Amino acid sequence: MASLTADAIVCAVRAHGEHGAILRVLTQEAGLVAGYVRGGRSRRLRPILIPGNLVALELRARTEEQLGAATVELLESRAPLFAEPLPAAAIDWVTSLSAATLPESQPYPALYTALSAVLDAIGVASSARQWAAALARYELLLLAELGFGLNLEECVATGVSTDLAFVSPKSGGAVSIGAAAGYEERLFRLPPFLRGQDGGPTMGDVLDSLVITGHFLDRDLLDGPNRDLLTVRERLVDRLGRAVA
């Protein structure tokens, strides 16, 4: 019998049968895994099976291919954050994105750590700008981990590593000020914080970064039925823009 015991971040929950639920969680050791939770729609378990919550997971299956039986205990609840529309929208998006795009049973420890950091930031940051910057970095990392990384270290046209100020929507590579001359309107502005430069990002920087990552998520990852998730993201970005307007 295959088994797994690990801390896990709840990413998606779907009703199954009259009382149960199919749970998808992200673990550090095994990546995204799914399991059937008996009584998952009960009054006792519903507050535990909320996206963003950290749970202690036990998963058992007779074979690797079989959907395992899962039991969970709550380690950290993020349910109070759903009382505010903006944090609720952010948690809904980042967990849904992870559940929809990550292949099951492949470890992505960097993504687990980054998702934990985003959720922690949503809970403690003094402003939306701070956690939204972490969200943008998570999206950038997700693209890279799944093979669609952006090259923000050197100019895609000249190879220089200085004066990088734009991103090509075609190649995903950075473009220097000189190489962009005359083509600026066709390129994305590159916020300095995405390249790890010192100084906290402005909300304008954060929104510009979300334009970049949104473009490549749309183009490279969110195909088929997953495209419906883009409406979730659009609502989030719209709320972030109105929050600082």
* Domains recognised in the chain with CATH numbers: 2-77 (2.40.50.140), 81-243 (1.20.1440.120)
**In this structure, are strands 173-176 and 164-167 parallel, antiparallel, or unpaired?**
antiparallel
Residue 66: per-residue pLDDT: 74
Percentage of the residues of the chain whose pLDDT score is greater than 70: 96
List, for residues 59-73, the tens digit of each pLDDT value.
998 766 678 899 999
Place of tokens 């994105």: 97
Phi-psi region of 129 (alpha: psi -120 to 50; beta: other; left: phi over 0): alpha
Q: What is the DSSP string of 196-208?
A: T-SSPPPHHHHHH
Structure tokens at 116: 């934990």
Residue 64: per-residue pLDDT: 65
List, for residues 23-34, the tens digit of each pLDDT value.
999 999 999 999
Q: Given pLDDT bands bounded at 50, 70 and 90, which one contains residue 177?
A: very high
**Where do runs of H (alpha helix) occur along 43-200?**
85-101, 109-124, 128-145, 177-180
Q: How many helices (H) and strands (E) does the chain have?
A: 6, 9
Q: Given pLDDT bands bounded at 50, 70 and 90, which one contains residue 121?
A: very high
Is 188 within 8 Å of 211 (Cβ atoms)? yes
List, for residues 186-230, the tens digit of each pLDDT value.
999 999 999 876 667 899 999 999 999 999 999 999 988 889 999
